[in-house]
Structure 1
Amino acid sequence: MQIIDKHGRSQAALIAILQDVQAEYSYLSQSNLELIARELGIAIAKVYGVATFFENFSLEAKGKHIVKVCNGTACHVRKSQPIYDAVREHLGLTGKRKTTDDGIFTLETVACLGAGGLAPVMTIGGEAHAKMNPDKALALLDEIRAKEVAAE
């Protein structure tokens, strides 16, 4: 694996390797975790422990567009929960599923996006959208989905 070659086969490089693997594949698959453990000569439990300790690592495939709805205090008070609920229903996500079947969207919540003055805030692909409401959120998602379908 070129990523491991880039960082070297040292336990000290584990986090950097995990970051690069996730950047390349959008998540950390079981097979990649096993390969990393084998190549670095460390137990899979240690690799898994590091991968699950840090919130930025994902063991599940994510969609092309990551949708984050803030649920921090300012956003919550300004009704971010109805936005999250509407987006979740609109995308057909049930139970613990966070990613749409077509792989276009992944829905997440975040504790704070650091933009309380613009609350409620939602980001799509890192781009912040301020003073959101359910209708505005769904319109944005529909616009993105239409572009994705047109590009196929």
Structure 2
Amino acid sequence: MSENLSTGKTYGGSSVGGGPTHQETVADVDVVKIAPVPAEQLVEETMPDLSVFDTLTVERAQAIIARYPQSRSALLPMLHLVQSVEGRVSQAGIHFCAAQLDLTPAEVSAVATFYTMYKRKTCGEHLVSVCTNTLCAVLGGDDIYKKLGEHLGSDGKKVGHNETAGEPGTPGSITLEHAECLAACDLGPVVQVNYEFYDNQTVDSAVALVDALRAGERPAPTRGAPLRDFRTAELELAGFFPDDAAEYAAGVDGPSAAVETLRGAQLANERGWVAPAMPDTVRLPSEKKPADSTDVAVTKK
């Protein structure tokens, strides 16, 4: 064994990579004691300023909590509430949620960093998401994302994933992201703005869309509710809408079904296609059938 170690031979006998081992070149060192770390080098955690979350935000947070039998279940919508205030989930937002829900900041951080809808950088007025999953990508999604990055960039530098053109949060600013799947394969390539759909996009139409957004316009989505800015959309995702019935209806009503999506159901209806009915009794095999066992019969009730 010692011969193999000195020559660098492997267990299989190869001498590739042979040479002196770490044990042969470095002498053992006995640790006598560990020097103390100077106090000025220690990181002292401080409580972030939570003043950005005003009384109304606290009231809304408590209203979210009241929806659930266990307060920690309110964390997801509460993170959207935080984003409606800051345009992102900051350390202050994490501590705010932790305090409201009696959780540790680590527990809140674990959730906030898991889901891509929670942003750690302040978003622009609009979040533009380009689907780059397989079908959208081959239909042009990759080209759209590349072009928008170049078009929104400046001084020869492209805007990348989760980067913002313009000052984040100011009118006309746009945060670009590539999304894995936006659940609209029948309408690809698709783009979302603040989670509203713009279907069947091309490079040219996507460029025209972001130019309109930067100019202060709000082009109507292909389907779904009228377009709102990112922070308003986040407030709605937290569950808060206008109290006025007419204003509420105008903000959420819109065509949500696409012709392409419903085509299969329409063909089935026109041609009388129906799925076979469930039989009254189904025999299910047991997981591990002993030699003297029989199949189990399940009767529909």
TM over 0.5: yes
Note the alpha carbon deviations across 1:51-85, whole angstroms, 9 max, x for none: 11223222221111111111122211112111101
2 CA distance for matches of 1:55 and 1:22?
13
Match of 1:19 in 2: 80
User: Which stretch has the larger CA shift, 50-59 or 127-136?
Assistant: 127-136
Contact residue 160 and residue 177 of structure 2 kept, 8 A:
no
Of structures 1 and 2, the one scoring higher in RCO (CA 8 A, sep 6+) is 1
Contact residue 128 and residue 192 of structure 2 kept, 8 A:
yes
- What is the letter of the counterpart of residue 62 of structure 2? D
Contact residue 3 and residue 21 of structure 1 kept, 8 A:
no
* 1:101 equivalent in alignment to 2:166: yes
Deviation at 1:37, TM superposition (A): 2.2
Partner secondary structure for residue 112 of structure 2 = helix
Q: Say which of 198, 207, 210 aligns to 1:129.
A: 198
- The two structures have a TM-score, normalised by structure 1, of 0.80
Contact residue 90 and residue 120 of structure 2 kept, 8 A:
yes
Q: Which structure dedicates a bigger proportion of its chain to helix?
A: 1
Q: 1:146 to 1:40 in 2, by over 3 A?
A: closer
- What is the letter of the counterpart of residue 174 of structure 2? F
Q: Say which of 59, 66, 81 aligns to 2:127.
A: 66
2 CA distance for matches of 1:127 and 1:39?
30
Match of 1:46 in 2: 107
Note the alpha carbon deviations across 1:85-139, whole angstroms, 9 max, x for none: 1101111144555222333211112222222232212122334333322222112
2 CA distance for matches of 1:116 and 1:15?
27
Partner secondary structure for residue 165 of structure 2 = coil
Partner secondary structure for residue 69 of structure 1 = strand
Note the alpha carbon deviations across 1:2-34, whole angstroms, 9 max, x for none: 333332694343333223222343321211212
Deviation at 1:39, TM superposition (A): 4.2
Contact residue 148 and residue 206 of structure 2 kept, 8 A:
yes
Match of 2:96 in 1: 35
- Segments of 5+ residues of structure 1 without an aligned counterpart are none
Match of 1:4 in 2: 61
Match of 2:143 in 1: 82
1 CA distance for matches of 2:71 and 2:77?
11
Q: 1:123 to 1:14 in 2, by over 3 A?
A: closer
1 CA distance for matches of 2:98 and 2:163?
27
- What is the letter of the counterpart of residue 101 of structure 1? G
- The two structures have a TM-score, normalised by structure 2, of 0.44
Q: 1:21 to 1:118 in 2, by over 3 A?
A: same
- What is the letter of the counterpart of residue 106 of structure 2? A
Q: 1:119 to 1:45 in 2, by over 3 A?
A: same
1 CA distance for matches of 2:189 and 2:161?
23
Contact residue 18 and residue 28 of structure 1 kept, 8 A:
yes
Q: 1:19 to 1:140 in 2, by over 3 A?
A: closer
* 1:117 equivalent in alignment to 2:186: yes
Which structure has the bigger radius of gyration? Answer: 2
